[in-house]
Amino acid sequence: MAATVIVNEYHGTQETTLTRTDKTAGTVRFKNADNFAVDLLNPMVVPGAGQDYSFEKVLRLQITDEGGFTQIDNVRAYSDGTNNFGTGIDVFYAVGGTYIEPTEPNNTPTTPQSPYAGSPQENMTDWFTTNSGSPADMDSNNPGPFTGGSPTEEIADFIALVMKVASTASQGVLTGEVATFAWDEI
């Protein structure tokens, strides 16, 4: 029987208000707030000039039921390789080994920067350059194998995603995109 693995979205500070929310079969809403609510509050807006970035959406996997597996490794994440959001809207990512409180990148650079990309902050990577043949490596900082030492074991690295809305974007609610997480399990 396979392990049960969920995708958690993280918010708040490490020391006091860290919150995890299961988003395995749910929606992650990019917005101008550090929360997990899928609502129309704090929306991304099309700026008059330049670009606006969302708060980082930080995700990580967690084993919730060991189910008789021996180990999980080779954890990765990817898009379908096509940006269907339209002109002026992009998503960027960075992977890191430890949790860092989500922030909203500075609106000045045309490519967002994140502490997940390096220290102090480096450019993030275009999410839509990932696909099943070229995924984001999710276990370079926290490498497997993960053996399920606890039925609630958090595994692999954190991935931070940021949406960029440029002045060339059209207004309106977007159709969703899918993020896929994969791993090898024996």
Instruction: Tell me the DSSP string of 134-169.
Output: BPEESSSSS---B--SSTT-EEEEEEEEEEEEETTS
Quote the pLDDT of residue 1: 64
The span from the CA of 94 to the CA of 114, in Å, is: 7
**Count of structural domains, the chain:** 1
Which is more confident, 163 or 65?
A: 163
Interatomic CA distance for residues 178 and 142, integer angstroms? 24
What SS3 class is residue 38?
coil
Strands 89-96 vs 154-166: parallel, antiparallel or unpaired? antiparallel
pLDDT at position 147: 83
Please state, rounded to an integer, the average pLDDT across all residues of the chain.
Answer: 92
Report yes or no: 77 and 158 within 8 Å, Cβ to Cβ: no
Q: Which residue has the higher pLDDT, 1 or 160?
A: 160
- The tokens for 64 are 């919730």
Please compute the mean of the pLDDT values over residues 77-90 and round it to a whole number.
Answer: 97
Give the percent of the chain with pLDDT over 90.
76
Give the pLDDT band of residue 98 (cuts 50, 70, 90): very high
Task: State the average pLDDT over residues 69-86.
Answer: 94
* Domain hosting residue 28, numbered range: 4-185
Cα–Cα nearest to 123, from 94, 99, 147: 94
Interval 143-172 mean pLDDT: 90
User: Which residue, among 1, 5, 13, 18, has the nearest Cα to 155 in the 3D structure?
Assistant: 5
- Segment 12-17 shows an average pLDDT of 78
Q: Which residue has the higher pLDDT, 153 or 177?
A: 177
152 vs 77, residue with greater confidence: 77
pLDDT score at 121: 85
Q: Which of 182, 185, 186 is nearest to 61 (CA)?
A: 182
